[in-house]
Amino acid sequence: MTSQPKTLGELRSSSNWSEQRLANRSLRQELRENLLCRMEKGEALFPGVHGYDDTVIPQIINAILSRHHFILLGLRGQAKSRILRRLIGFMDQQVPVVAGCEINDNPYRPICRACRERIASEGDSTAIAWLSRDHRYVEKLATPDVTIADMIGDVDPIKAARGGRNLSDELTIHYGLLPRANRGIFAINELPDLAGKIQVGLFNIMQEGDVQIKGYPVRMALDVLLVFTANPEDYTARGKIITPLKDRIGSEIRTHYPATVEEGIAITAQEAWALRDGYLLHLPKYVQEVIERVAFVAREDKKIDKRSGVSQRLPISVTENVISNAERRAIRNDEKTVVPRVSDIYAALPAITGKLELEYEGEMKGADHVSREIIRTAIAKTYDDYFSGVDMRQIVQWFDLGGEIQVTDSAGAKEVFDGLKNIQGLTEKLSALNVSSKDNIETQVSAAEFVLEGLYAHKRIGRSEERVFTAGEKQPKKPEQRTFEREEPFRGRRPYN
């Protein structure tokens, strides 16, 4: 780095940056070469991206090796932007540019007229600047009001008048985002929201390297990698994307939500802010699982709009809110360990409701109600993982005989602990959660509360608004119901009439 060439002449005589090596090395060739190199070394290519090893990542690698412009199709919160930003890692650390050029011209192949004129007059003494890879990534969220001027450029009549130039002269152009991204990656999020006219402009740049600005033809053989993201339904909807543009996008890659709860937990654990100052945190596995299942259940729920999906940001924000609620409880009750409980997930409703797009039926019920139902289902499923087939009659009986206990999300562990001990058989059941009487009481209380919440989720015991657990409502004699699936009404064949 110390002896980087500062002029075109020095650049020419350098070994790393010779004309032979650089003149025809496009960005897409550069990405390909660096990717191959990292693959040969066996390096991790997309560190921190989970659950895509066998699906999305191989397809992206193929797209880069093929030197394709590509699009990621997926619902929100599927790490699309993150993956695109990671492409920076496949660029050279720095590349030489003509100093002062607005569009980062390659010194050996300048495309703007100013640079060509300058090199013609200054020759080998033309100054070179160095562009680091962090500055070679431009991102734009497409909205319907984005104009050709924003995206590609505009002719500047004042500049033209001052210089006594013709309007269509390249020197009078005020460059937009795309030309300024020359020699870099240009990422457009939500491509279908881009007006048809701009899509035509993009297509022309990809295809011919020229474009019309206010009716004037302007030549711009840009060296860019175009990457896009879109919601799959928007992208495939008729008339949203002009066909020739679609045709020029080499690879269409589908992203997805985590396939398993475990994968989801890995992502959430990586992203959520959990390591906080001061307090010792013990986040139980079953709490993580319930949080993750909230997203899984919501993605399946008929009351939630499938088109927009349920972002992975939901479990991430919920985790943060759950820890905060537990933190608040610990401070208030002077506890040393922060141990989140299932009730903290109900307290994290503000991190849920805004992230669910409701269908009509859901809107009628209200976001709060729908979210509570989803949490309850998530608790039931997680409970089944640990306690399926475990005999809980003794505990249920305690409530049936008139036992009651209040476990609010603000109540300290000490306050609740003695009451919980009265429920015969409860402590032994906690071994399924790897919790015993040797654990601190915060942990025991959290585990016991999970059992009660699980029984409540299965309607075997009751619970009031004030979080008082009581006997369940007496149901008409029926075989005991264990899971929600079985409660679905039998869908008989509709009679003909």
Q: Which is nearer to Zn ion, 112 or 445 (CB)?
A: 112
Parallel, antiparallel or unpaired: strands 70-73 and 225-230: parallel
**CA separation (Å) from 18 to 5, 14, 33, 107?**
11, 6, 17, 11
**Torsion angle defined by CA atoms of residues 454, 361, 487 and 426, in that order, rounded to the nearest 10 degrees:** 10
**With CB under 5 A as the contact rule, which of the stretches 49-57, 112-120, 121-129, 256-264 interacts with Zn ion?**
112-120
Please, which residues bridge with residue 210 across strands?
219
- Asked if 85 and 97 count as a contact pair (C-beta separation under 8 A), the reply is no
Least distance from C-beta 213 to Zn ion, angstroms? 17
211 phi and psi, to 5 degrees? -150, 155
Q: How far is the CB of 214 from Zn ion (least distance, A)?
A: 21
CB contact burial 244-266 (16+ within 10 A = b; e otherwise):
ebbeebebbbebebbeebeebbe
In whole angstroms, the minimum distance from the beta carbon of 105 to Zn ion comes to: 3
| Residues of span 154-183 touching Zn ion by CB under 5 A | none
Cβ proximity to Zn ion, 179 vs 340, nearer residue: 179
**Secondary structure of residue 155 in the 3-state scheme:** strand
| 345 three-class SS | helix
Nearer to Zn ion, 115 or 155 (CB): 115
Nearer to Zn ion, 113 or 285 (CB): 113
Whole-angstrom distance, CA of residue 179 vs CA of residue 218: 12
CA dihedral defined by 285, 421, 419, 293, rounded to 10 degrees?
A: 20
Output 153 or 284, the one with its CB closest to Zn ion.
Answer: 153
77-106 residues in contact with Zn ion (CB under 5 A) are 101, 105
Q: Closest CB to Zn ion among 102 and 233? A: 102
Nearest distance from C-beta of residue 294 to Zn ion, angstroms: 52
CA angle 407, 386, 491 (to 5 degrees): 95
How many residues in the shown chain lie near Zn ion by CB under 5 A?
4
Binding mask 250-269 toward Zn ion (x if CB under 5 A, else -) reads --------------------
Q: Which lies closer to Zn ion via its Cβ, residue 219 or residue 414?
A: 219
The smaller minimum CB distance to Zn ion, of residues 105 and 289, is found at: 105
Closest approach, Cβ 106 to Zn ion, in A, equals: 9
Q: Residue 31 in contact with residue 86, Cβ under 8 Å?
A: no
Q: Cβ closer to Zn ion: 136 or 240?
A: 136
CB of 279 to Zn ion, least distance (A): 55
Minimum distance from residue 109 beta carbon to Zn ion (Å): 10
Cβ atoms 268, 291 nearer than 8 A: yes
Cβ 322 to Zn ion, closest distance in Å? 53
Which class for 64: exposed (0-12), middle (13-18), buried (19 or more C-beta within 10 A)? buried
Q: Which of residues 422-441 bind Zn ion (CB under 5 A)?
A: none
Q: Residue 135 Cβ, how far from Zn ion at the closest point, in Å?
A: 16
8 sits near Zn ion (criterion: CB under 5 A) = no
Q: Which is nearer to Zn ion, 137 or 175 (CB)?
A: 175
Task: Tell me how far apart the alpha carbons of residues 205 and 363 are, in angstroms, rounded to a whole number.
Answer: 44
Smallest distance, Zn ion to C-beta of residue 97, A:
8
Looking at 95, 112, 348, 426, which residue binds Zn ion (CB under 5 A)?
Answer: 112
Residues 113-132 that bind Zn ion (CB under 5 A): 115
* CB contact at 8 A, 422 and 412: no
* Phi and psi, residue 93, nearest 5°: -55, -45
Where along the sequence are the contacts to Zn ion (CB under 5 A)? 101, 105, 112, 115
